[in-house]
């Protein structure tokens, strides 16, 4: 019998080594939710198995109360580790320990170890009739405290399992497989730790036959399945359930053979497939919408598809992302862009309408204004003095309206622009041309140009001249001096050019320095001083620059335009 007991003891040590290996792996991932409890429980199981193997060995090493103190303490370590694992796994976050709750949880375990270790003084843990060698379990005569101990063990164990069962009801895919492995390991380990209830009832079973170490090893293997195969600490189940499962966009996971290994409810609804889709080919999964499969299998690249779903046309942007970390397979996400497509279509229609309006302003309205202006000129010299005044008003209004159509046309060109501006415009030539034109148009004004201007090109297009023309006209037409004076200067600064347009007018109050550009208002109905300044700030932004206003000394304002150097 001694040799048989020795063999059993050695097998228990082998089981303890296996448990220790799993515990060591779990400890390496101790920063992940659940890893601390996992490593604590399996490490406790390894030590418990060693203690039991010592008791099974024919030679006595430990007195009964010492052996039982170790064993009960380690059972509680297994139990509390399991409880911590479940709490962190269900909550998907590391638990922060508070002193009072921890004291309540460990009160009975501490008392159990203390009462067991001091059992010869009171015999509350087990009766005096218990033999010195306690490895067999069936010969133990339990004391009254054992009922408290067992009630505690069963309560914590079953409560933890109940949390996993509750979580299992809403789990899917890999999350459910993880839970199955955890619950399976718990069931085997729980039955194994209570094997003395079975062996004690069978008289022919020797006292040294203990199934618990091997049951714990099987439990550790099942838990290792969750760790290694289902990546318990690499995959966070809450992200799968709350992000993937509740995503409105279809998500399909396939392996390297294009076999579906998972799909969220949105994907199953779109493709009208049942709950269990694991293991079917992607072509079968997407049989109602083969364009999904074609996009994934033929190109393996991102793209867009259109699907008729319940007689409603839906548009999807498909992203096809390979799984990293050495695992073959990919994730296919179909982002529903139907609303975006509808919005883009509406924008295209508005753009078309704006282009039509631009054509009307460019040709019909402008031509009619030119006709009005021409006929007004013909009337000059053929009407009396009162008529001359009316003809002058007609000509001036027609000229203002023609200028407005020019500005409107330029603003429309900017609004219709879709590509970013990347052209080059010579700054000195553009400014000098606009200064010459403004001097001819307003001969009563003084326009000074501080030279030399920076000999550089800026990022802009042929509307750059309109930007400076509007600034110059604004400085003259909104000037309350008898002789309006405007000074233009420019300087280079860190790859940019600053152009200053200073006037001697009444200036711009601080509260209106931004509002004059129409900022924060709706397009042409803004509260700024006119469409000209709206065009200035719009062009400056389009060129990647800016425009702002400062006070001039002693009177007036300085408009500064910042532009990017093209070189």
Q: Is the pLDDT of residue 456 over 90?
A: yes
Of 306-310, 346-350, 495-499, give the range with the top mean pLDDT: 495-499
Reported as a pLDDT band with limits 50, 70 and 90, residue 483 is very high
Which residues lie below 8 Å from residue 257, measured CB to CB, with a gap of 6+? none
Residue with the larger pLDDT of the pair 164 and 141 = 164
- Burial label for 343, CB within 10 Å (0-12, 13-18, 19+), is exposed
Q: Closest Cα partner for 316 from 271, 260, 253, 259? A: 271
pLDDT of residue 524: 42
pLDDT of residue 138: 47
Q: Residue 301 above 80 pLDDT?
A: no
Average pLDDT in the 185-210 region? 66
pLDDT for 560 equals 95
326: preceding bond cis by omega (within 30 degrees): no
pLDDT over threshold 70, residue 39: yes
What is residue 189's predicted lDDT score, i.e. its pLDDT?
79
By the 10 Å C-beta count (0-12 exposed, 13-18 middle, 19+ buried), 550 is classed as: middle
Confidence of residue 520 (pLDDT cuts 50, 70, 90): very low
Question: Is the pLDDT at 326 greater than 50, yes or no?
Answer: no
Looking at per-residue pLDDT, the higher value among 272 and 297 belongs to 272
Q: Which one of 202-216, 302-316, 320-334 scores highest in mean pLDDT? A: 302-316
Higher pLDDT, 489 or 403: 489
Q: What CA–CA distances, in Å, run from 162 to 89, 165, 186, 486?
A: 13, 5, 11, 83
Residue 465 has pLDDT above 80, yes or no: yes
Residues 6+ apart with CB under 8 A from 469: 434, 437, 438
Lowest pLDDT segment from 243-247, 266-270, 421-425:
243-247
> In the structure, what pLDDT confidence band is assigned to residue 19 with cuts at 50, 70 and 90?
confident
Give the pLDDT score at 459: 93
Model pTM score: 0.44
Of 476 and 99, which is predicted with more confidence?
476
Mean pLDDT of the chain, nearest integer = 78
% pLDDT > 90, the chain: 14
pLDDT the model gives residue 136 = 47
């Amino acid at each position: 019998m001694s040799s048989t007991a020795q063999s059993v003891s050695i097998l228990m040590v082998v089981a303890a080594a296996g448990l220790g290996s799993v515990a060591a792996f779990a400890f390496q991932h101790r920063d992940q939710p659940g890893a601390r409890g996992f490593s604590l429980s399996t490490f406790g199981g390894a030590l418990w198995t060693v203690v039991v193997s010592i008791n099974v060995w024919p030679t006595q090493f430990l007195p009964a109360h010492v052996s039982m103190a170790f064993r009960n303490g380690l059972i509680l370590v297994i139990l509390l580790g399991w409880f911590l694992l479940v709490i962190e796994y269900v909550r998907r976050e590391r638990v922060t320990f508070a002193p009072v709750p921890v004291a309540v949880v460990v009160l009975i375990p501490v008392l159990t170890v203390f009462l067991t270790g001091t059992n010869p003084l009171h015999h509350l843990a087990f009766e005096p009739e218990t033999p010195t060698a306690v490895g067999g379990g069936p010969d133990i005569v339990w004391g009254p405290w054992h009922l408290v101990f067992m009630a505690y063990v069963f309560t914590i164990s079953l409560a933890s399992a109940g949390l996993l069962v509750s979580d299992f009801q809403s789990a899917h895919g890999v999350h459910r497989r993880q839970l199955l492995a955890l619950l399976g390991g718990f069931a085997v380990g729980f039955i194994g730790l209570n094997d003395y209830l079975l062996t004690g009832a069978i008289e022919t079973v020797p006292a040294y036959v203990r199934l618990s170490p091997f049951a714990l090893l099987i439990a550790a293997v099942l838990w290792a399945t969750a760790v290694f195969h289902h990546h318990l600490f690499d995959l966070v189940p809450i992200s799968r359930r709350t992000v993937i499962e509740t995503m409105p966009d279809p998500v399909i996971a396939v392996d390297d053979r294009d076999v579906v290994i998972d799909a969220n409810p949105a994907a199953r609804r779109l493709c009208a497939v049942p709950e269990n889709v694991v293991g079917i080919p992607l072509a079968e999964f997407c049989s109602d919408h083969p364009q999904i499969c074609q996009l994934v299998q033929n190109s393996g690249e991102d793209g867009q598809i259109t699907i008729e779903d319940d007689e409603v046309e839906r548009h999807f942007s498909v992203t096809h992302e390979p799984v990293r970390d050495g695992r073959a397979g990919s994730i296919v996400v179909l982002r529903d862009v139907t609303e975006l497509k509808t919005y883009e279509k509406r924008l295209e229609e508005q753009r078309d309408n704006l282009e039509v309006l631009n054509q009307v302003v460019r040709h019909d309205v402008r031509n009619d204004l030119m006709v009005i202006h021409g006929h007004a000129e013909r009337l000059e010299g053929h009407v009396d003095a009162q008529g001359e005044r009316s003809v002058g008003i007609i000509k001036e209004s027609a000229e203002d309206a023609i200028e407005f159509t020019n500005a409107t046309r330029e603003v429309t060109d900017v609004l219709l622009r879709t590509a970013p501006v990347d052209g080059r415009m010579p700054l000195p030539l553009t400014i000098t041309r606009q200064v010459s034109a403004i001097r001819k148009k307003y001969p009563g004004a003084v326009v000074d140009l501080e030279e030399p201007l920076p000999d550089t090109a800026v990022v802009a297009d042929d509307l750059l001249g309109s930007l400076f023309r509007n600034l110059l006209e604004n400085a003259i037409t909104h000037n309350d001096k008898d002789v309006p004076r405007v000074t233009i200067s420019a300087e280079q600064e860190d790859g940019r050019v600053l152009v200053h347009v200073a006037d001697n007018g009444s200036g711009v109050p601080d509260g209106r320095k931004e509002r004059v550009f129409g900022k924060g208002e709706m397009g042409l109905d803004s509260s700024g001083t006119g469409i000209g300044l709206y065009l200035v700030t719009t062009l400056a932004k389009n060129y990647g620059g800016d425009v702002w206003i400062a006070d001039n000394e002693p009177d007036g304002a300085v408009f500064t335009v910042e532009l990017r150097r093209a070189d």
